[in-house]
Amino acid sequence: MSRRVSVLLMAICAVLGGCVHNSPDRATLTLASYHIAERSEGWDYNAFNPGAVLTWEGVDIDISAGAFINSYSLPSVAGFVSVPLVEEEALVLEGFGGVAYYPVYGRRFPLHVGDIVPLAGLAARLGSLSLMAFPSDCVHTCAVFVGGVSFDL
Residue 10, pLDDT above cutoff 60? no
Pairwise CA distance, residues 8 & 77, whole Å: 8
Which band of pLDDT confidence, cut at 50, 70 and 90, is reported for residue 1? Answer: very low
Query: Quick check: 145 and 131 in contact, CB under 8 A?
Result: yes
Residues pairing with 65 in the sheet: 54, 79
Give DSSP secondary structure letters for 2-28.
-HHHHHHHHHHHHHHTTTTTSPPSEEE
Q: Tally the domains of the chain.
A: 1
Residue 104, pLDDT above cutoff 70? yes
Q: What is the dihedral of CA 20, 26, 27, 32, to 10 degrees?
A: -130
* Per-residue model confidence (pLDDT) at position 69: 93
- Segment 42-95, tens digit of pLDDT: 567 888 889 999 999 988 899 999 999 998 899 999 999 999 999 998 999 999
Residue 11, pLDDT above cutoff 70? no
- Segment 23-32, tens digit of pLDDT: 889 999 999 9
Domain extent at residue 22: 3-152
CATH number at residue 89: 2.40.160
